Each structure stands twice: as C-alpha cells, then as structure tokens.
Amino acid sequence: MKNKSESSFSFIDLFAGIGGIRIAFEHNGGTCVFSSEWDEIAQKTYKRNFGEIPAGDITKIDEDQIPDHDVLAAGFPCQPFSIIGDKLGFADTRGTLFFDIERIIKAKKPKAFLLENVRNLVSHDKGRTLKVILTKLSSLGYFLHWKVLNTLDFGLPQKRERVFIVGFMDNYKFNFPKGNSLNTGKTLADILEDEQDVEPKYFASEYIQEKRMNSVNGKSVPNPAIWHENKSGNISPLDYSCALRAGASHSYLLVNGKRRLTPREQLRLQGFPETFNIVGTESQIRLQTGNSVSIPVVESVANQLIYSIENKIMAY
C-alpha cells in the first residue's frame, strides 16, 4: 500500500465538529479545502487547532460556493437515528441534513465520499432509512460500500460502534479495514491520568461513590476500570469505556467508580493528539467529544479509500 506521506488529494469536512475527520484525512496526506460546522463552541475549538473558522449552517450554503474536491467527508448528525435519541429519522429536521450532503455530491461530483453515523442507522425504521440513503447515493452514480466498525478494534479502549458508508464514482475495489484482531493498542492505563493529578471537581460525591460501590459488590472489578451506568441503572465495571455520549448524564461513566473523565481523557479515548486544545465549559466539552469521531477508525477507512482511488483497481 502507498505510504501516506506520498498521497495528495483534496477533501471537504462537513458537519466538522471539532475536526476529528479532518485529522484522519490529513494523516493520509489530504488537504482540506472547505469545512462547515454550525455550533459556535465547536467552531472556536476548530479555529484554535486548525487556524480557520468553519463555514456555518450547511443548509444556507450554496453548493456552488464550495470548492471542487476529490473526497467529501461528513459525520452527519446522528441524533435522529440514535438509540439514545427519539429515533425519528427523517421525521426529525436534523435527519434531513443528509439531503444537503446529497445536493453537494450531485453538484460537485467528488471522486469519493465517506459518511459516518451511529450503528442504529442500520436498523432504524426496520432498515428503510438506510435503504433510502443508499438508494439516493446510488442514483447519483456512485458504487457503495458500508459496514459497522467498532473503536475497540482500532487500538482505543472505547466500545463505539459506527456505520461507515463509502462511495466511489468508479467501481473500484474496496475493502474495509479489519482493525487489530489482537486487540493491541492503548489500554485504559495509557488513557487515564494519575488520580492524584486529577482536580477534585471531577470526583463524584461520597453518596454516589458509595452507591456505585454497593452496586458492584460481589462482581469481578478490573483495575483500572470505567464503570458504566446504563439507562436501567445497572452498573458494569469494564476495562474499556462505553461510548462517549454528547448528552449523557454527568456520572454515567466513572473511573474506578469514583470520578468523571477529564477533558484530556475524553480526547484520548477518541484518538486526538496530546497537542489538541478544546475550549468550553465541562458540559460543552462533553458535547464536543461525544459528538466527535474516533480518529484511528476514520484514518484506517480513509487510508483504504485513498488507496482505492490512487490505484484504480476495478472491482470487476
């Protein structure tokens, strides 16, 4: 496979959030020529790290104003399809943002695109929502591939399943990366900060800590661990983190049943570099990291995508 540093292509970063997808494509040698993100706090984080403010609401941006590009990348809003959300799909106005992706692809005709969304998109409305999306993309003349990938398989200790849709203007051979079947990579011990260095504000109250301890009495508890509280109130101490969520309760994930994740730990669980700077309040930071992507997963998919484009190996 071609070395990443030898690649050279242009891409756009839609629904950019704090730039996780951009980092993944830049690691593959790409140059971002346009970005769009409507959230003002995420825009500030994006500017601090990339030196530019993304364009705003994509629904108000004419497709002719967007530069030509080789690859369109978009982690389009997932709330309409999320298990945690109301699962309204296209009945939710955010769900219709997919159609802005459709109109941009139709106008700009990139060589390829990569779309990312929550796993529940696959089963939403008994599969009809995904079928609508695939049908519309196919009608634009693209050859499609899709698969659910888990962050746990790509070197990060976070169980985060997301569906990836890849499309090519030509019928290139494409294989999704399998990840690391040996589960080597970073562990929680690599991600977590020393407890003595964590500010007191991240520690749960004595009442919550005692309640957590009582709930796992008699269970096998790994160390270190992230204790996950599900919607039913059941506590699971795990040697990995369950998915970071944008709108989750303050204490649904507790390190060793005692404290919340720090901003740096949240960023590490998504694969952001140590030099990445995030802005905002604690709740705004949870929102930004929870809405972001796991960079190593996107980077691996992007690497395969670029390999297909540059080698032009046909699927037939």
Catalogue the long-range contacts made by 34-41 (C-beta closer than 8 Å, 24 or more residues apart).
34/66, 34/67, 34/69, 36/12, 36/61, 41/279, 41/280, 41/284, 41/287, 41/288
| Cα–chain center distance at 102 | 20
Of 71, 78, 156, 295, which one is the catalytic site residue?
78
| Strands 143-150, 241-242: pairing kind | unpaired
| Strands 9-14, 71-74: pairing kind | parallel
Residue type, 61: I
Beta bridge partners of 205: none
Strand order in the sheet with 226-229: 235-238, 226-229, 253-255
| Structure-block tokens of residue 105 | 């692809």
| Structure-block tokens of residue 203 | 């520690």
Phi-psi region of 267 (alpha: psi -120 to 50; beta: other; left: phi over 0): alpha
| Cα–chain center distance at 77 | 10
Rounded to whole angstroms, the Cα distance separating 156 from 146 reads 22
Rounded to whole angstroms, the Cα distance separating 76 from 117 reads 6
Rounded to whole angstroms, the Cα distance separating 135 from 223 reads 47
Q: Is the dihedral of CA 21, 103, 81, 303 positive or negative?
A: negative
Is residue 78 among the annotated active site residues?
yes
| Structure-block tokens of residue 72 | 């369109």
Catalytic positions are 78
